[in-house]
Amino acid sequence: MKCFVLLVLLCIFCINTNADDRFDVRKNLKHYGFGFCLQKSYGYVDETGQMPTLPYHLHVFQQGSMKFSVMAGLKNEEQVAKIIQSYVSQFMSSPQRKATTKQGFRVLVQDCMQLYDSKEYHDEVERIVKKYCKDCK
């Protein structure tokens, strides 16, 4: 039932969005990194050895973002994924990120939003697009 609801929501989303917007490689790569950041923040596996629902949905969001980028002409999907994952991992392990706490708890979503909005991340995505997507607008 959940899969059916997700499928319907995905169809509605695709119908209501501009087709060109879905194939904006820069935006989709930024989404991919944002999804990876959230997934890294929450972890892949819970105590019981199962993938929690939230990280699973983030994984689907993340993979969908990469697939839209590939459909728009991005080459070397695996290499691009490694570069973005490495960049996000470095960002999350920087000393400034450890300071983002509220009442003793890390504010993980805030860290990921800062990554998404940062000029450095935008510049890295631009560099990746120029290198791996010659035909992209």
Task: State the Cα–Cα distance between residues 38 and 122, nearest whole angstrom.
Answer: 17
Whether 53 is covered by a domain: the verdict is: yes
| pLDDT computed for residue 92 by the predictor | 78
Q: Among candidates 27, 15, 42, which has minimal Cα distance to 106? A: 42
Q: What domain range includes position 82?
A: 20-132
Which pTM does this prediction carry? 0.64
| pLDDT computed for residue 122 by the predictor | 92
Indicate the SS3 state at residue 102: strand
Whether 100 is covered by a domain: the verdict is: yes
Structurally, the chain folds into a number of domains equal to 1
Task: State the Cα–Cα distance between residues 83 and 50, nearest whole angstrom.
Answer: 27
- Ordered per-residue pLDDT tens for the chain, 137 residues: 666 766 666 666 665 555 445 567 888 888 888 887 877 766 554 555 555 555 566 666 667 777 767 676 777 778 888 888 888 888 877 766 655 555 545 556 778 888 889 999 999 989 888 888 777 66
Where residue 107 sits, what CATH number does that domain have? 1.20.120
Whether 7 is covered by a domain: the verdict is: no
In our burial notation (b when 16+ CB lie closer than 10 A, e otherwise), range 5-39 reads eeeeeeeeeeeeeeeeebbbbbbbbbbbbbbbbbb
Tokens of 63: 């993979």
Whether 14 is covered by a domain: the verdict is: no
